[in-house]
């Protein structure tokens, strides 16, 4: 049977089972640069959606503006998508959830979209514990406008090339910001480590509150020189023989497999390196917010990017739970519900 | 009496020079300190006039401040139904030392000034009647301290206001029954004790005035029967009621004066009347982190099928501009109420304006043009809020409702609102069954040749339901496109859609009993000054017709109105004649020269004095205008004043 004819079984909100063709989970062809980490994330996301049986008819894909924000067109074509405004995806997702609380929101953003222009909406979404899978495809630079620094660019990173202008501002650690803001599922991974990424994505899709994923995603075009931690070269200088790395040819998507508790140095497209260290399950109690923040604050100074699941709180009500809305989506309410009776108007007028 | 008023010995008629006495044509101004609790007292005066059956209105002219700065309350009662702003009061009550001197200096000769005896105002002028009132002593008589009441001084500071209510009620002849009724209404239920205290204070003021002030003072009110079935309400509350009956299901907003009370009233009413018996809500309200998020949520909700609304003022509109442009282009229903105020940043946040109209009509980037509904009364704030929610769905586009602080936050008389007769409109929305029957759809294809396409919402369980919404260029199938012909075709269709909408919007209200050469065009809360101005002009021999614009884009009936008149004065509350500017772009070239502007932009609501003299001057019927209403004339000497 051809792949396109294969069916994926999904469960609807009311417990029915739908068999959907695989193509429902796929999207149009990517127009991003070849080798872009974002494409690896898209591929992992499709796999994760199929694996957990996401119902595409009740899923919405939302994004802001930037390279990352183009990706909702590349997966779940049976779902409504909305490429909104730069940095404003969280508010649009909030509105969609208000209108229809049965929707699963998958928000795709970038480091510029979230850490710069959209930091406010991002943190307010976390604060509300908005039910959303919030993915940042983090490459430390602006791709669409040709490589300017974002707020996740490394301190002392150079603009576009080794001799480019130096960044003198420390980066935000978006995972730290997310936990601090109130997100209830916070993880970091690497676009090329599908083995780590897939379970984290599956966990996020099953989570009922704000599930935030900071996914390091190398930019093959603008942030691929030796001194960038989001490039290949950086990692090469920090390589430890603990981790076997397969050779990844330039301009192919980068794949690595991290081992828990060990540092993994990843070579980026131009030969640069980054060091990832997958969290060992003994290192952290993921239900403890304070220890997650402490760990992230400490590793921020260690020139390595800690990956894995940092924090999960499955007990806190999400934003929509707190609003006490009727069971059916507000979007489907009809006149009987939307317009009170004439008696109500008469009562209001008589009280004036 | 230990304290004698300065003028009590002299017979009043000799003192009151101009204007001569009036019955049921009253203007009172009360100057107090913000936060001193005068609001209740002022409402009691207003409601008492309403209770006596006299058309009336109340305006709170307040500072951007919680406590301490000066504030004024303007009350007007008029047998002729003139309830717009009036520049000069006949009765001034001075409770605030900060402004008393200025307030007195601005009075017209013949006015009456009632003031706290410690202010010593009587020497300021000899052409005003001064009544010095020992407010502090009277309030302590009316409301003696109870042992151990630590809050006594604070309470006294509030209750003292009810003493001037009593004095004023005597001076103008408001029935004390009406005062008592209004106080009880102001302090209902558990506040009954406060009601008795306040009634005692008012009675003390009234008794003192009766004993000490002259009889037959010139500005009087008498019972009439013109407010039967009418209620007093602010535009913001009216709009909130409309939004609820219009079926708003998502309200997202950010606090900003003067729109905040609209959102708060709406939330209050939704909780009360749109909650099911099991406590579950048929709505959501979110106070967003800023206006960007407020409109973003409303747009997201509108996209996903809700009837979404937000309310804001000028600076918020600016922050919403990018989303409004996106919603226009991506064709998402959303309603935005702009309660207009003065200026940028803080500007004059508590002063009224019509300065956002042009911006609202074109808000966005690239080619945008929006529907703007402009209510001219609290009744229309109600009915147009309902209509706006339907229009947004029907035309899948942002719909603005432009009110202003004067209409939104002040109390206006209105007949009871009528229950909507038109069913709720969901627009061209396709269900899964429709998709099955049709075999698919293209989001931006103009099937019906009216510019309005069919849409689906997320959650529609059908393989053909989904489409991709984007601000980027798109073709009819909502696919990404940078093709010039796709872009242009889409913009042309959006123009067609707006043209369809234009013909469905509220028509102007035209009053043209006979052929006249002079027409007036106005909109929004400017209406009341126009009603009064037309009478004033008629008394001076100038008959006018009147066209009240109620929506943008401009209805053909407005253009036809201009065509029927030699000279058309567009009266508005902004400096640059925003609606006149729009009109000049839509009328045929031969009509452009007929359009003239009368503008008012000081932050005070427009008054008859700002309109009638300016028109008379432009018509060559007076030598010139000075002072109020002449702003525009002074600057535009190049414009012909007559044909």
What average pLDDT does this structure show over B147-153?
A: 86
The CATH number linked to B583 is 3.40.50.920
Express as a percent the part of chain A with pLDDT over 90.
Answer: 56
Q: Which residue among A82, A88, A99 sits closest to B306, beta carbon to beta carbon?
A: A99
Contact B241 A348 (CB under 8 A): yes
Are B402 and B579 contacting, i.e. CB atoms less than 8 angstroms apart? no
Length of chain A: 352
pLDDT for res A44:
95
Within a domain: B2: no
Q: Is B242 left (phi over 0), alpha (psi -120 to 50) or beta?
A: alpha
Chain B residue numbers with beta carbons less than 8 Å from the beta carbon of A337 are 274, 282
pLDDT band per the 50, 70, 90 thresholds, residue A1? very low
Domain assignment of residue A302, given as a range: 32-350
Q: List the single residue in B with minimal CA-CA distance to A80.
A: B466
Q: Which residue among A77, A80, A121 sits closest to B458, beta carbon to beta carbon?
A: A80
Within a domain: A8: no
Within a domain: A223: yes
Q: Which of residues 62-81 of A touch B (CB under 8 A)?
A: 62, 72-73, 77-81
Q: Which residue among B301, B471, B472 sits closest to A99, beta carbon to beta carbon?
A: B301
- Number of other residues whose CB lies within 10 A of the CB of residue B1: 9
pLDDT at A273 over 90: no
Number of domains in chain B: 4
Computed on alpha carbons and rounded to an integer, the radius of gyration of chain A in Å comes to: 21
Within a domain: B565: yes
Q: How far is A335 from chain B (nearest CA, A)?
A: 6
Q: Does A12 touch chain B (CB under 8 A)?
A: yes
Chain B residue numbers with beta carbons less than 8 Å from the beta carbon of A329 are 305, 459
Q: List the single residue in B with minimal CA-CA distance to A89.
A: B296
Within a domain: A15: no
Q: Which residue among A84, A95, A338 sits closest to B298, beta carbon to beta carbon?
A: A95
pLDDT for res A282:
73
Residues B219 and B239 placed together within one structural domain of the fold: no
Within a domain: B17: yes
Q: Which residue among B297, B416, B420 sits closest to A91, beta carbon to beta carbon?
A: B297
Written as six digits, the tokens of A11 are 């469960």
Contact A100 B300 (CB under 8 A): no
pLDDT band per the 50, 70, 90 thresholds, residue A268? low
What average pLDDT does this structure show over B221-227?
A: 95
pLDDT at B351 over 60: yes
Q: Which residue among A57, A90, A97 sits closest to B465, beta carbon to beta carbon?
A: A57
Chain B residue numbers with beta carbons less than 8 Å from the beta carbon of A20 are 463
Q: List the single residue in A with minimal CA-CA distance to B411.
A: A352
Between B2 and B154, name the one with better pLDDT: B154
Express as a percent the part of chain B with pLDDT over 90.
Answer: 86
Residues B200 and B330 placed together within one structural domain of the fold: no
Contact A96 B472 (CB under 8 A): no
Q: List the single residue in B with minimal CA-CA distance to A338.
A: B247
Residues B409 and B443 placed together within one structural domain of the fold: no
Q: How far is A160 from chain B (nearest CA, A)?
A: 27
Are B176 and B169 contacting, i.e. CB atoms less than 8 angstroms apart? yes
Task: Name A341's Cβ contacts closer than 8 Å, sequence gap at least 6.
Answer: none
Residues B361 and B264 placed together within one structural domain of the fold: yes
Q: What is the mean pLDDT of chain B?
A: 92
Q: Which residue among A91, A324, A352 sits closest to B279, beta carbon to beta carbon?
A: A324
pLDDT band per the 50, 70, 90 thresholds, residue A242? very low
pLDDT band per the 50, 70, 90 thresholds, residue A283? confident
Collapsing DSSP states into helix, strand and coil, what is residue A150? coil
Beta-strand ranges (E) seen in B263-333 are 284-287, 308-312
pLDDT for res A172:
92
Length of chain B: 643
Q: If you count residue pairs, one on A and one on B, with CB atoms under 8 Å apart, how many are there?
A: 220
The CATH number linked to A235 is 3.40.50.970
What's the gap between Cα A315 and its chain centre? 21
Chain A residue numbers with beta carbons less than 8 Å from the beta carbon of B231 are 349, 352
Q: Which of residues 316-345 of A touch B (CB under 8 A)?
A: 323-327, 329-335, 337-340, 342, 344-345
CA distance A241 to A246: 13
pLDDT band per the 50, 70, 90 thresholds, residue A244? very low
Residues B41 and B94 placed together within one structural domain of the fold: yes
What average pLDDT does this structure show over B597-602?
A: 96
User: What burial letters (b/e) apply to B119-142, b meaning 16+ CB within 10 Å?
Assistant: bebbebeeebbbbbbbbeebbbeb
pLDDT at A250 over 90: no
What average pLDDT does this structure show over B351-358?
A: 95
pLDDT for res A270:
55
Within a domain: B642: no
Q: How far is A224 from chain B (nearest CA, A)?
A: 28
Contact B241 A345 (CB under 8 A): yes
Q: Does A24 touch chain B (CB under 8 A)?
A: yes
pLDDT band per the 50, 70, 90 thresholds, residue A225? low
pLDDT band per the 50, 70, 90 thresholds, residue B637? very low
Task: Name A241's Cβ contacts closer than 8 Å, sequence gap at least 6.
Answer: none
Which of B502, B536, B555 represents a domain boundary (last residue)? B502
Contact B305 A93 (CB under 8 A): no
Q: Which of residues 261-300 of A touch B (CB under 8 A)?
A: none
Q: Which of residues 78-97 of A touch B (CB under 8 A)?
A: 78-85, 88, 90-97
pLDDT for res A237:
40
Q: Which residue among B306, B308, B424 sits closest to A335, beta carbon to beta carbon?
A: B424
Q: What is the mean pLDDT of chain A?
A: 85
What average pLDDT does this structure show over A49-65?
A: 96
Residues B24 and B156 placed together within one structural domain of the fold: yes
Q: How far is A259 from chain B (nearest CA, A)?
A: 38
pLDDT band per the 50, 70, 90 thresholds, residue B19? low
Residues B242 and B389 placed together within one structural domain of the fold: yes
pLDDT tens-digit profile of B242-255?
999 999 999 999 99
Q: Does A103 touch chain B (CB under 8 A)?
A: yes
Q: How far is A104 from chain B (nearest CA, A)?
A: 10
pLDDT band per the 50, 70, 90 thresholds, residue B67? confident
What average pLDDT does this structure show over A230-242?
A: 40
Number of domains in chain A: 1
pLDDT band per the 50, 70, 90 thresholds, residue B636? very low
Contact B250 A91 (CB under 8 A): no
Residues B405 and B473 placed together within one structural domain of the fold: no
Q: List the single residue in B with minimal CA-CA distance to A323.
A: B284
For B48-82, the DSSP string reads: HHHHTT--EEEEEE--S-SSSSEEEEEEEEETT--
pLDDT tens-digit profile of B173-218?
999 999 999 999 999 999 999 999 999 999 999 999 999 999 889 9
What's the gap between Cα B189 and its chain centre? 30
Q: List the single residue in A with minimal CA-CA distance to B306.
A: A331
What average pLDDT does this structure show over B535-541?
A: 95
Contact B459 A57 (CB under 8 A): yes
First vs last C-alpha separation in chain B: 64
The CATH number linked to B158 is 3.40.920.10
pLDDT tens-digit profile of A73-92?
999 999 999 999 999 999 99
pLDDT tens-digit profile of B92-123?
999 999 999 999 999 999 999 999 999 999 99
List the one residue out of A263, A192, A274 whose CA is nearest residue A232: A274
Q: Is the peptide bond before B553 cis (omega within 30 degrees of 0)?
A: yes
Collapsing DSSP states into helix, strand and coil, what is residue B514? coil
CA distance A125 to A91: 8
pLDDT at B357 over 90: yes
pLDDT band per the 50, 70, 90 thresholds, residue B18? very low
How buried is B610 (Cβ within 10 angstroms: 0-12 exposed, 13-18 middle, 19+ buried)? buried
Within a domain: A16: no
Q: How far is B372 from chain A (nearest CA, A)?
A: 23
pLDDT band per the 50, 70, 90 thresholds, residue B6? very low
pLDDT at B634 over 60: no
Residues B79 and B168 placed together within one structural domain of the fold: yes
Contact A92 B300 (CB under 8 A): yes
Domain assignment of residue B482, given as a range: 432-502
Residue holding tokens 């047998």? B79
Chain B residue numbers with beta carbons less than 8 Å from the beta carbon of A121 are 289, 292-293, 296
Residues B353 and B449 placed together within one structural domain of the fold: no
Within a domain: B425: no
pLDDT for res A271:
60
pLDDT tens-digit profile of A12-36?
999 999 999 999 999 998 888 877 8
pLDDT at B311 over 80: yes
pLDDT band per the 50, 70, 90 thresholds, residue B526? very high
Chain B residue numbers with beta carbons less than 8 Å from the beta carbon of A58 are 458-459, 461
Q: Which residue among B304, B417, B468 sits closest to A73, beta carbon to beta carbon?
A: B468
Written as six digits, the tokens of B355 are 């300065």
pLDDT band per the 50, 70, 90 thresholds, residue A246? very low
Which of B173, B203, B227 represents a domain boundary (last residue)? B227
pLDDT at B170 over 80: yes
Q: List the single residue in B with minimal CA-CA distance to A21.
A: B463
Q: List the single residue in B with minimal CA-CA distance to A342.
A: B419
Residues B114 and B188 placed together within one structural domain of the fold: yes
Q: CA-CA distances (angstroms) from residue B308 to A331, B249, B392?
A: 10, 6, 9
pLDDT band per the 50, 70, 90 thresholds, residue B8? very low
pLDDT at B5 over 50: no
Q: How far is B420 from chain A (nearest CA, A)?
A: 9
List the one residue out of B611, B561, B619 whose CA is nearest residue B586: B561
Q: Does A11 touch chain B (CB under 8 A)?
A: no
pLDDT tens-digit profile of B261-281?
999 999 999 999 999 999 999
What average pLDDT does this structure show over A249-269?
A: 65
Q: Which residue among A94, A334, A348 sits closest to B300, beta carbon to beta carbon?
A: A94
pLDDT for res B30:
97
**The dihedral sign for the CA sequence A216, A217, A220, A221:** negative
Contact B466 A77 (CB under 8 A): yes
List residues bridging with B371 in a β-sheet: B399
Chain B residue numbers with beta carbons less than 8 Å from the beta carbon of A25 are none
pLDDT at B510 over 50: yes
pLDDT for res A223:
61
Residues B316 and B219 placed together within one structural domain of the fold: no
Chain A residue numbers with beta carbons less than 8 Å from the beta carbon of B297 are 91-92, 94-95, 98
List residues bridging with B402 in a β-sheet: B338
pLDDT at B627 over 80: no
């Amino acid at each position: 049977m051809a792949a396109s004819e294969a069916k994926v079984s999904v469960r609807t909100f009311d417990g029915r089972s739908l068999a959907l063709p695989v193509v429902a989970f796929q999207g149009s062809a990517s127009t991003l640069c070849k080798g872009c980490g974002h494409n690896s994330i898209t591929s992992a996301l499709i796999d994760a959606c199929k694996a957990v049986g996401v119902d595409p008819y009740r899923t919405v894909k939302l994004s802001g503006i930037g390279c990352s924000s183009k990706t909702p067109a590349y997966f779940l074509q049976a779902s409504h998508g909305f490429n909104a405004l730069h940095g404003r995806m969280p508010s649009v997702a909030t509105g969609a959830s208000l209108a229809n609380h049965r929707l699963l929101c998958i928000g795709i953003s970038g480091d510029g979209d979230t850490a710069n222009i959209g930091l406010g909406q991002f943190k307010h979404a976390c604060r509300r514990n908005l039910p959303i899978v919030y993915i940042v495809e983090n490459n430390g630079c602006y791709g669409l406008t040709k490589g300017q620094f974002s707020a996740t660019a490394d301190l002392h990173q150079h603009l576009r090339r080794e001799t480019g202008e130096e960044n003198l501002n420390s980066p935000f650690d978006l995972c730290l910001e997310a936990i601090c803001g109130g997100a209830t599922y916070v993880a970091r991974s690497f676009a090329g480590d599908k083995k780590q990424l897939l379970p984290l994505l599956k966990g996020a899709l099953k989570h009922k509150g704000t599930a935030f994923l900071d996914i390091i995603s190398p930019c093959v075009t603008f942030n691929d020189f030796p001194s960038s931690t989001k490039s290949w070269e950086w990692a090469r200088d920090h390589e430890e023989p603990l981790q076997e790395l397969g050779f990844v040819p330039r301009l192919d998507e980068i794949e690595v497999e991290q081992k828990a508790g060990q540092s993994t140095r990843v070579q980026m497209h131009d030969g640069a390196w980054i060091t990832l260290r997958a969290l060992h399950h003994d290192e952290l109690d993921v239900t403890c917010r304070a220890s997650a923040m402490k760990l992230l604050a400490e590793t921020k100074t260690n020139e390595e990017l800690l990956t894995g699941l940092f924090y999960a709180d499955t007990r806190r009500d999400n934003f929509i739970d707190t609003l006490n809305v009727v069971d059916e989506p507000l979007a489907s309410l009809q006149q009987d519900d939307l317009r009170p009776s004439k008696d109500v108007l008469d009562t209001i007028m008589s009280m004036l | 009496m230990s304290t004698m008023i300065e003028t009590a010995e002299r017979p009043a008629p000799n003192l009151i020079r101009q204007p001569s006495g009036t019955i049921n044509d009253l203007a009172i101004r009360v100057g107090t300190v913000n936060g001193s609790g005068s609001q209740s007292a002022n409402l009691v005066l207003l409601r008492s006039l309403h209770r006596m059956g006299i058309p009336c209105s109340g305006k709170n002219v307040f500072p951007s401040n919680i406590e301490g700065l000066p504030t004024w309350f303007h009350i007007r009662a008029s047998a002729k139904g003139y309830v717009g702003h009036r520049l000069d009061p006949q009765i001034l009550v001075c409770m605030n030392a900060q402004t008393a001197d200025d307030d007195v200096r601005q009075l017209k000769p013949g006015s009456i000034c009632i003031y706290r005896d410690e202010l010593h105002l009587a020497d300021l002028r000899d052409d005003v009647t001064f009544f010095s009132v020992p407010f502090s002593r009277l309030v302590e008589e009316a409301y003696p301290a109870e042992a151990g009441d630590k809050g006594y001084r604070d309470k006294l500071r509030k209750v003292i206001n009810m003493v001037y209510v009593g004095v004023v009620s005597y001076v103008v002849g408001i029935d004390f029954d009406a005062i008592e009724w209004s106080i009880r209404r102001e302090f209902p239920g558990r506040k009954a004790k406060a009601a008795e205290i306040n009634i005692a204070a008012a009675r003390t003021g009234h008794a003192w005035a009766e004993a000490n002030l002259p009889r037959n003072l010139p500005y009087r009110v008498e019972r009439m029967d013109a407010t039967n079935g009418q209620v007093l309400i602010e535009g913001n509350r009216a709009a909130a009621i409309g939004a609820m009956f219009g079926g708003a299901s998502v309200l997202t907003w950010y606090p900003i004066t003067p729109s905040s009370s609209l959102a708060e009233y709406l939330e209050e009413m939704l909780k009360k009347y749109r909650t099911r018996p099991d406590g579950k809500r048929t709505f959501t309200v979110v106070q967003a982190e800023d206006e960007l998020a407020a409109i973003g949520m409303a747009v997201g909700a509108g996209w996903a099928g809700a009837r979404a609304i937000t309310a804001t003022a000028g600076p918020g509109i600016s922050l919403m501009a990018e989303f409004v442009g996106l919603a226009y282009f991506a064709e998402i229903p959303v309603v935005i109420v702009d309660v207009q105020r003065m200026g940028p940043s803080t500007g004059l946040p508590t002063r009224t304006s019509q300065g956002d109209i042009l911006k609202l009509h074109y808000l966005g980037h690239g080619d945008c043009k929006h529907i703007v509904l402009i209510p001219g009364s609290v009744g229309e704030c109600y009915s147009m809020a309902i209509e706006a929610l339907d229009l947004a769905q029907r035309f899948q586009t942002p719909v603005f409702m432009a009110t202003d602080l004067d209409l939104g936050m002040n109390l206006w008389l209105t007949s009871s609102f009528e229950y909507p007769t038109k069913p709720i409109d969901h627009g061209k929305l396709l269900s899964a069954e429709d998709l099955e029957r049709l075999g698919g759809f293209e989001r931006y294809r103009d099937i019906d040749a009216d510019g309005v396409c069919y849409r689906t919402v997320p959650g529609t369980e059908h393989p053909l339901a989904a489409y991709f919404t984007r601000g980027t260029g798109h073709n009819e199938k909502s696919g990404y496109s940078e093709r010039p012909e796709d872009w242009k075709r889409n913009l042309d269709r959006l123009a067609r859609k707006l043209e369809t909408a234009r013909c469905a919007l509220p028509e102007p209200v035209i009053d043209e009993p006979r052929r006249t050469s002079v027409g007036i065009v106005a909109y929004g809360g400017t209406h009341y000054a126009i009603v009064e101005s037309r009478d004033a002009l008629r008394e001076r021999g100038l008959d006018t017709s009147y066209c009240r614009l109620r929506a943008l884009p401009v209805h053909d009936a407005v253009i036809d109105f201009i065509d029927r008149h030699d000279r058309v004065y567009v009266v508005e509350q902004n400096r640059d004649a925003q609606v006149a500017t729009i009109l000049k772009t839509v009328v045929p070239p031969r009509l452009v020269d007929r359009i003239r502007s009368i503008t008012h932009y000081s932050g005070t609501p427009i008054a008859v004095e700002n309109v009638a003299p300016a028109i008379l001057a432009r018509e060559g019927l007076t030598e010139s205008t000075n002072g109020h209403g002449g702003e525009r004339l002074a600057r535009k000497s190049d414009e012909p004043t007559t044909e």
